[in-house]
């Protein structure tokens, strides 16, 4: 969805981890379609991307897919962010000439608002130049999947004989660098390995250090070397 000359509106959808992100993105897309204007998707996180757990990286992958499918101008991930979230959102909104912001908020008790403050009020003070659309969302419910994997660690995908395996030390034959999420309750290196390829988040399954999707990885390695 390209911005046309004279088009005044631009929408920014702010998402955070949880099942409500997709709903907010679709709401922003619907508004952008009605106004015939561009929209962006933004997520802000103080952690660097390589410290995201499996659940977080799964959401990021889904949001990237949605951005592509729905024709967003871009999905912007401000990871390792040192600024407060409201100021980071302000920077992006100003840079992209945003006029409307879509954001979700869970119901706050009066005590929570007194002790923690209202993020929406902070945002209104920081960004007076944009209209704020606050969507009521449910509090996140911890899913079973969040307990499936341990915290991710940096790892490398290397060729090994007729296949590929995950290594925790960088070597000359390293094909991809990424994050390994080990299954909980096992002494073996079983789990998933996530890495970037062709500007997309990719995931393969690991069984006792070995990559299960050998054919898929071979294709990606070939594409990488052709580039």
Superfamily of domain 11-136: HUPs (3.40.50.620)
Strand, coil or helix: what is 133? strand
Question: Which residues are CB-contacts of 67 (< 8 A; sequence separation ≥ 6)?
Answer: 25, 41, 74, 75
Name, of 43-47, 88-92, 123-127, the range with top average pLDDT.
Answer: 88-92
pLDDT at 120 over 60: yes
Query: pLDDT averaged over the chain?
Result: 82
Q: How far apart are CA 223 and CA 214, in angstroms?
A: 14
- pLDDT (mean) for 52-74: 89
Phi, psi values for residue 201, rounded to 5°:
-80, 125
pLDDT digits (tens, 9 = 90+) for 173-214: 789 998 888 887 777 888 889 888 877 788 889 988 899 888
Residue intervals in the chain for CATH 3.40.50.620? 11-136
The confidence band for 227, taking pLDDT boundaries of 50, 70 and 90, is low
Question: Which residues are CB-contacts of 183 (< 8 A; sequence separation ≥ 6)?
Answer: 148, 149, 150, 190, 191
pLDDT digits (tens, 9 = 90+) for 137-154: 654 444 434 557 788 889
pLDDT at 2 over 70: no
Q: Out of 38-47, 52-61, 108-117, pick the least confident.
A: 108-117
Q: In this structure, what token pair is assigned to residue 160?
A: 């090994």
The confidence score (pLDDT) of residue 76 equals: 95
CB half-sphere exposure, 209, CA atoms < 13 A = 8
Radius of gyration over every alpha carbon of the chain, rounded to an integer in angstroms = 20
**How much of the chain exceeds pLDDT 70, in percent?**
86
Strands (E), the chain: 11-14, 39-44, 74-78, 100-105, 131-136, 153-160, 163-167, 174-182, 191-197, 200-207, 210-211
């Amino acid at each position: 969805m390209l911005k046309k000359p004279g088009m005044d509106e631009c929408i920014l959808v702010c998402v955070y981890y949880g099942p409500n992100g997709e709903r907010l993105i679709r709401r922003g897309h619907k508004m952008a379609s009605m106004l015939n204007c561009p929209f962006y998707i933004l997520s802000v996180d103080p952690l660097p991307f390589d410290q995201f757990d499996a659940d977080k990286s799964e959401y990021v992958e889904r949001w990237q897919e949605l951005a592509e499918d729905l024709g967003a101008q871009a999905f912007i991930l401000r990871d390792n962010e040192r600024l407060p979230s409201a100021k980071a959102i302000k920077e992006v909104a100003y840079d992209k000439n945003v006029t409307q912001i879509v954001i979700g908020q869970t119901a706050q008790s009066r005590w929570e608002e007194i002790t923690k403050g209202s993020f929406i009020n902070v945002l209104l003070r920081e960004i007076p130049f944009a209209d704020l659309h606050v969507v009521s969302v449910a509090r996140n419910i911890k899913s079973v999947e969040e307990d499936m994997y341990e915290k991710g660690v940096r790892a490398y995908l290397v060729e090994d004989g007729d296949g590929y395996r995950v290594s925790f030390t960088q070597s000359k034959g390293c094909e991809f660098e990424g994050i390994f999420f080990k299954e909980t309750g096992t002494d073996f290196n079983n789990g998933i390995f996530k890495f970037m390829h062709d500007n997309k988040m990719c995931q393969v399954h690991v069984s006792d250090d070995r990559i299960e999707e050998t054919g898929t990885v071979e294709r990606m390695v070939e594409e990488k070397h052709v580039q």
